Amino acid sequence: MGALADKMKLKLELLGRSKHTVNAYLRYARKFVEFHRRSPEEMGEAEVQAWMQHLIVEKQAKADLLIGHIAAVKFLYIHVVGRPQVVSWLPSPKKRRKLPSVMSLAEVTRLIEAAPNLRSRAFIEAAYGGGLRIGEICELRIEDIDSKRGVLHLRACKGGKDRIAPLPARLLATLRDYYRAVRPAGPWMFPGKPKDHPIRRQSVYEEFRIALAAAGLTRKVKFHSLRHAFATHLLEEGVDICTIKEMMGHAWMSSTEHYLHVRTDRILAVGSPLDRLPPK
Catalytic residues: 133, 158, 224, 227, 250, 259
What is the DSSP secondary structure assignment for residue 15, as one 8-state letter?
A: T
Q: Distance from CA of residue 78 to its chain's centroid?
A: 27
Examine residue 194 and say whether the peptide bond preceding it is cis (omega within 30 degrees of 0).
yes
Look at phi and psi of residue 44 and say left if phi exceeds 0, alpha if psi is from -120 to 50, else beta: beta
Q: What is the 3-state secondary structure (H, E, C) of 192-240?
A: CCCCCCECCHHHHHHHHHHHHHHHCCCCCCCCCHHHHHHHHHHHHCCCC
Q: What is the CA radius of gyration of the chain?
A: 22
Whether 164 and 153 have beta carbons less than 8 Å apart is answered as yes
Residue 60 half-sphere exposure, CB side, CA atoms within 13 Å?
A: 0
131 SS3 class: coil
The answer to whether 36 and 11 have CB atoms below 8 angstroms apart is no
DSSP output for 139-177: T-BGGGEETTTTEEEE-S-GGG--EEEE--HHHHHHHHH
d(CA 145, CA 141): 7
Looking at residue 183, its amino acid is R
3-state secondary structure of 252: coil
Instruction: Using the Cα atoms of residue 249, residue 115, residue 196 and residue 9 in order, give the sign of their dihedral.
Output: negative
